[in-house]
Structure 1
Amino acid sequence: MPIAFDVWNMQDNIDINLWKFNNKKNNWSYISESANSGNTDEYIFALLSSGEYLLELKHMNSFSSEELPSKYKVSFDAKYLAQTMKLPNDPLFDSQWHLLNTGQSLGLLDLDIRAPEAWKRQSASPNITVAVIDGGIDVEHPDLVNNIWSNQKEIPKNGIDDDKNGFIDDINGWNFVENIPSVIPSEHGTHVAGIIGAEGNNDIGVSGLTWDVNMMSLDIFGDNTKYDSEDLFEAIHYAVDNGADVINMSIGYTVPFATLERFKELSPDLYRGYIDALNYAVDRGVTLITSAGNDNSDDLNSLSLPAAFAAEVPGFISVAAITDEGSIADYSNFGSLVSVAAPGGSSISNKTTIFSTLPRDKGLYGGMPGTSMAAPIVSGAVALMLEKNKNLLPEDILWILDETSTKDQSLKRFVKSSGYLAIDLAVKIAGKYNSKMKDSSTINDQQFRYKFLYGTATEDLFEVNKNNFSESGDFPSLIQFNASQGDKILIHRKVLPGFTSDTFSFSQANNKKNLKKQSETNSDLVYDRSSGNLYFNQNKESKGWSDSGKESSLLVNIIDKPNLSESMISLVASRKSSSISSSPNRSIPLDQHVGDTNSAKYLFKKSGRDFKINIFIDHKGLHENHASMDRDLFQYIENTFKLLDQNTILNFDSVSHAKADFVIGASKKSQYVGINEMSWGLSAGFDFSSKPTDNVLNHYNAAFEIAMALGVAYLPEKSKGIYSFEDSIAAWPLSNEIADNVGITSSDYDAINHAWSVFL
């Protein structure tokens, strides 16, 4: 049973552990834990078999000087999860964190592709054929045998080309290396096949992305570690000519310091061979998916083949790998040409690899990391999408994957979509898809209905897009909107592409009568307070507002029916790449290094919403498990806040601990390092060493935690070599080479201003 435990409304730092009683050993066995810092909510999600369980709550430390009872609330939910998920009975399913992440790999809880939610809609694709161009598949594997493609037009082992396709006895595919029908089972090819389509819910082993599918084994490696390009091209033609709907190619190699243009100049025949073969597939409606490569290379200065052709072949999909923590994998190739990311696991720990099938002589099951594992995850998802809608073209599929991917700031610049696969939404949209959805030049009812039907609204700022609405009848409803608290509706340019910052206008109409008689027709939005309806004005060319067809222009129904004004609606041009900064030497574009509003938003609320923040530097170490700091460090932190006061839209006043919105202190213990949301504001502890040689590092750590708390976005590890490491404190390497002038930079000031500007 899937079950979630939640501890919330805490006054102190409380952690939780989940245990199961072991009847054989007569003791309790550890299952999972949640140990967030501060009084942040604790959450455990687990798949539990029948038995007796214990949820242990541990009081770690108090955040009040008074000795008072520590209050909290506990809840658990087994009903909702069971209703929204479809789970297989495969005994090794719990090892497949990429499908359902319960923390089993010690990564981030819920960091997965949402497969069980997708399976609730579509769990099998019996009418779809996926060609696996790779090493050979073990076609007799017990978890694969029922999902291997069978050429019904060919009579087995009669030595005759019955279907006259030029290949004799090609029952399950072809070995292009030896030019024979017998494929040589390989670890790589068998592992890839299991990720796509290991038979699900069969009480055996693992589950594939699709539980029922037809997988064609096209072997281009044989006993070799490299493939011949002519074998690849022939395999692509074979797959297309014999009915494949999807082709997975977890193959390739990287050429450093090369480009596609240079490749075209130096090897025109090979370049043309790739172009012709790939276009042969997509022109016939076959979706091609390939791995981005495992050489930790940027496509700006390296060439990954065949992945680089995603830039020239419409609908050709390349896939980067992420870890179980959501970051780009240490080995994964990356860049603006990579279409989307999917789980590939880490090369550091076996627990974080992708668990799938292996040949029978290799143990049946095991884990591997790589973009080779990420690509078949997408291929399996595409098979489910096509089963839902066979009319999808490769370009349609790529667009849906981009639109529905889970966006993550840390993936910007590393993946074109800035996100990783979210299969539940992809399958849902696939079933509803029509070409008008991706026509950015057309605003119509169909686009509105697609854009406003998904997600929940639990924050104070509401974006009019698919992520912030819940289904309620025929039209979406905006919930928890409180105009008196300064809540705003943010309308994205991506949602309403006809808008620009200069032409946006809003007219308030309080009743239907006013809507009919309205003489001014230059408003893009019209609001009817009596109904709480916000409309898009599609009647601007004629006078007034027509009742006819107005429901087709309904953007949202706002439950509280507030007295909306223009100040409560703002336009966000999310496609802009220019900097908001006046800094002349900014090297990180705004759309690649934006502020992180999570902590900033909380501090904004707690500080009185006036951009004035009361601070307390706990230099004596009297509060919250802090250590005392010397005068030099204390003065450095004071000066940091002075610089922030001078260079950002924020103002800082030093106050006592009891009156502070933001407390900063030194911590010698790792469990107290980081930013905690307290009932009164933010508490930040920085990693501190009392060694005189670590003074500069202490300065850096203090400034870093302050920057993170105020809205600087952390730049991921692969930002090295992409951005100037002198441009943001978030990009500095933690090493002994840290210079004396380390601190918050002009780009960090920009990021903080950006994070807080949305609250204006």
Structure 2
Amino acid sequence: MKKISLLLFTILIYSCSSVKFTNEYLTASSLNIEVKLNEEKKKNWHNLDLQKDSIPGMSVERAHTELLQGLKAKKVVVAVIDAGIDINHEDLNGVIWVNKKEVPNNGIDDDKNGYIDDVHGWNFLGESYNETLEMSRIIRDDLTNYRKYKFAVSTLERKVKESKQSLVYYEKITDDYINATKIISDFLGKDKFLQSDILKINSNDSLIQRSKELLSFYNSRDLDLDYLKEGIDYFSDQINYHYNVNFNGRTIVGDNIYDINDINYGNSKVLHSKNSESHGTHVSGIIGGIRNNSIGNKGINNNVEIMAIRAVPNGDEYDKDIALGIRYAVDNGAKIINMSFGKSFSTNPEWVIEAIKYAAKNDVLIVHAAGNDAKDLDELNNENYPNDQYLGKNEFSDNFINVGASSVEFNENIIAVFSNYGFKNVDIFAPGNRVYSLMPNNEYAYQSGTSMAAPSLTGVASMVLSYFPKLSASKLKEIILESGVDINLSVKIPGKDRETVFKSLSKTGKIVNAYNALILASKSKRK
């Protein structure tokens, strides 16, 4: 009998109301692959397939077309603990969780869960948003008994100096960009122009030549004035809020951040507070943005209900908010929790550790972003919170996945340059570099970070669980990790000037793959 190509044929076997796929696993080449992306593929690369598209995505589109056509799925509640979410976004229509036991805006805790009017989730930040970092609070609140107090002081001094230097730099190059744009605009006689117009300029004027070279340089790297202004805002926020020991953004909330039993705070306003509070919306779009409405992006799985938990400010999150946020998600029906945040200092890690254990006890998977510091998390000095281990000790739960970020390049650059890594403390990689998704007010944009890699994995995990709802959290984790695609490449180590094998930078040496995960899930028993 002629061998049937795994690229073309799928057999579905129905048995005991379950589905089993007999397809073979997808694998990766050990050779570098170069491909030129059109705009459509750029916007959806994380969902594409290495074999069919020559792009190291997660084979999501292939899973939908070859495996899932005609199959019924159950909705999975996915909690997104993050910044505010634009729950009214056109591309989240129908995928936002609704607490049906709660009557909207009546000022009554109808379901007696301790939260009034929590129709779509809970806002632990109240009316606050701008915040300090944890190390700044340690110094501000005079926590001299904290084991890393002296390190916090020295780190803060260095960071303040670096931020001030970076702000001056960004202000200068932004002024240079604006001046160059005006010079070229005056020369061409029009306000708007393209790179092709710039290339046609032929002038011996040194000022025009310098302006032409500067704008061509930025255009070649897809950088514009908005990007430069974001840099100014970023470093201004660091100086004014993140590293400012005289600032306290929590005052307006009115709770005691060092008392886990002080829980009567926050409100039900889970929306973003301003357009720049976009992180939670972008994350949510990666997971569940509407796939077939011909607008925006393609989320990974539409069989989800996204529970909005606003707990991540413009600064470091509070251990208290995260611990309570996890417990809220678990108690209100979430089966997966996405946590695209992290920090290097934690004053009350035990609260979050107990919450993670609580989620494990109640069969809830937690997906966490590994961080964007280009550091080896196996080194004890590179602490990253929250995590499923503490100070290098053994993992204390079986429901926690730590995700690094991969890129669109299938070569030595496949790991995103910013991503943290670690043979022991990063479980797997997923697409996280220049991922296209939702922004507040029906807008869309590319963003990068392990913050994008986590929802990429969460989307796949929710897809698997929606078709195989009897899987336990620990079994779902096992399936996601085991079914990833092995990458047999020598790659650049983030933050280093040398290479190593991809397999040495995470526990699995793999990139998440939806196609393989569904196949493995179909053959697995709940454990």
TM-score interval w.r.t. the shorter chain? 0.5 to 0.7
Contact 1:93 1:205 in 2 (8 A): no
- Counterpart of 2:432 in structure 1 is 344
Q: Cα–Cα, structure 1 residues 122 and 42, in superposed 2: closer, same or farther, change >3 Å?
A: closer
Matches within 5 A, 1:326-405: 326=410, 327-335=414-422, 336-345=424-433, 353-360=434-441, 364-405=443-484
Contact 1:197 1:211 in 2 (8 A): yes
- 1:192 Cα shift? 0.2
Which of 213, 219, 235 is equivalent to 2:325?
235
Which of 310, 323, 331 is equivalent to 2:407?
323
| 1:91-139 CA-partner distances (Å, limit 9, x unpaired) | 9676121112699xxxx92311111121133488552000000001100
For the pair 1:170 / 2:124, whether they are aligned, the reply is no
- 1:43 Cα shift? 9.6
- Counterpart of 2:505 in structure 1 is 414
> Match of 1:359, as an amino acid?
P
| 1:149-170 CA-partner distances (Å, limit 9, x unpaired) | 1111111111111111111111
| 1:472-506 CA-partner distances (Å, limit 9, x unpaired) | xxxxxxxxxxxxxxxxxxxxxxxxxxxxxxxxxxx
Contact 1:45 1:102 in 2 (8 A): no
- 1:42 Cα shift? 10
- In 1, the alpha carbon distance for the partners of 2:104 and 2:40 equals 34
| 1:319-343 CA-partner distances (Å, limit 9, x unpaired) | 0011111422111111021111001
- 1:44 Cα shift? 7.4
Contact 2:290 2:302 in 1 (8 A): yes
> Match of 1:116, as an amino acid?
E
TM-score (norm. length: structure 1): 0.41
Q: Secondary structure at the match of 2:359?
A: helix
For the pair 1:154 / 2:102, whether they are aligned, the reply is yes
Q: Secondary structure at the match of 1:373?
A: helix
> Match of 2:428, as an amino acid?
V
> Match of 1:117, as an amino acid?
R
Contact 2:388 2:400 in 1 (8 A): no
Q: Secondary structure at the match of 2:87?
A: coil
- 1:433 Cα shift? 0.9
> Match of 1:329, as an amino acid?
A
- In 1, the alpha carbon distance for the partners of 2:103 and 2:323 equals 26
**Which protein has the bigger strand share?**
1
Matches within 5 A, 1:692-703: none
Matches within 5 A, 1:63-212: 95-100=43-48, 109-120=54-65, 121-122=67-68, 126-178=74-126, 179-185=266-272, 186-212=277-303
Matches within 5 A, 1:461-540: none
Which of 298, 311, 332 is equivalent to 2:376?
298
Q: Report runs of 4+ in structure 1 exceeding 2 Å deviation.
A: 40-47, 91-94, 120-126, 307-312
Greater Rg by CA: 1
| 1:252-275 CA-partner distances (Å, limit 9, x unpaired) | 0135xxxxxxx8xxx6xx232122
Contact 1:147 1:212 in 2 (8 A): yes
Contact 1:209 1:381 in 2 (8 A): yes
Q: Secondary structure at the match of 1:367?
A: strand
- Counterpart of 1:674 in structure 2 is none
Contact 2:77 2:333 in 1 (8 A): yes
- In 1, the alpha carbon distance for the partners of 2:304 and 2:123 equals 21
Q: Secondary structure at the match of 2:47?
A: coil
- In 2, the alpha carbon distance for the partners of 1:289 and 1:276 equals 16
- Counterpart of 1:246 in structure 2 is 336
- 1:385 Cα shift? 0.9
- In 2, the alpha carbon distance for the partners of 1:341 and 1:194 equals 19
Contact 1:125 1:211 in 2 (8 A): no
- In 1, the alpha carbon distance for the partners of 2:33 and 2:483 equals 28
Contact 2:470 2:526 in 1 (8 A): no
> Match of 1:112, as an amino acid?
G
Matches within 5 A, 1:677-692: none
Matches within 5 A, 1:277-288: 277-288=355-366
> Match of 1:100, as an amino acid?
L
- 1:45 Cα shift? 9.7
Q: Cα–Cα, structure 1 residues 217 and 92, in superposed 2: closer, same or farther, change >3 Å?
A: farther
- In 1, the alpha carbon distance for the partners of 2:316 and 2:36 equals 42
Q: Cα–Cα, structure 1 residues 284 and 292, in superposed 2: closer, same or farther, change >3 Å?
A: same
- 1:237 Cα shift? 0.6
Query: Aligned residues, how many?
Result: 329
> Match of 1:389, as an amino acid?
F
Q: Cα–Cα, structure 1 residues 141 and 92, in superposed 2: closer, same or farther, change >3 Å?
A: farther
Q: Cα–Cα, structure 1 residues 428 and 231, in superposed 2: closer, same or farther, change >3 Å?
A: same
Q: Secondary structure at the match of 1:304?
A: coil
> Match of 1:397, as an amino acid?
L
> Match of 1:114, as an amino acid?
S
- In 2, the alpha carbon distance for the partners of 1:119 and 1:429 equals 16
- 1:387 Cα shift? 1.1
| 1:488-547 CA-partner distances (Å, limit 9, x unpaired) | xxxxxxxxxxxxxxxxxxxxxxxxxxxxxxxxxxxxxxxxxxxxxxxxxxxxxxxxxxxx
Contact 2:106 2:117 in 1 (8 A): yes
| 1:334-359 CA-partner distances (Å, limit 9, x unpaired) | 102111100111xxxxxxx0000000
**Which protein has the bigger helix share?**
2
Q: Cα–Cα, structure 1 residues 277 and 43, in superposed 2: closer, same or farther, change >3 Å?
A: closer
> RMSD of aligned C-alpha atoms?
2.8
Q: Secondary structure at the match of 2:384?
A: strand
- In 1, the alpha carbon distance for the partners of 2:328 and 2:40 equals 34
Contact 1:311 1:337 in 2 (8 A): no
- 1:308 Cα shift? 5.1
- 1:41 Cα shift? 13
Q: Cα–Cα, structure 1 residues 203 and 312, in superposed 2: closer, same or farther, change >3 Å?
A: same
> Match of 1:299, as an amino acid?
L
Choose between structure 1 and 2 for higher RCO, CA contacts under 8 A separated by at least 6 residues. 2
| 1:264-301 CA-partner distances (Å, limit 9, x unpaired) | xxx6xx23212210010011111000000001111122
Contact 2:320 2:352 in 1 (8 A): no
Q: Secondary structure at the match of 2:383?
A: strand
Further displaced range: 240-249 or 399-408: 399-408
**Percent same amino acid among aligned pairs?**
35
Q: Cα–Cα, structure 1 residues 386 and 102, in superposed 2: closer, same or farther, change >3 Å?
A: closer
TM-score (norm. length: structure 2): 0.58
Contact 1:174 1:181 in 2 (8 A): yes
Contact 1:293 1:371 in 2 (8 A): yes
Contact 2:427 2:507 in 1 (8 A): yes
Q: Cα–Cα, structure 1 residues 93 and 322, in superposed 2: closer, same or farther, change >3 Å?
A: closer
Contact 2:124 2:311 in 1 (8 A): yes
- 1:389 Cα shift? 1.4
| 1:619-672 CA-partner distances (Å, limit 9, x unpaired) | xxxxxxxxxxxxxxxxxxxxxxxxxxxxxxxxxxxxxxxxxxxxxxxxxxxxxx
- In 1, the alpha carbon distance for the partners of 2:46 and 2:377 equals 26
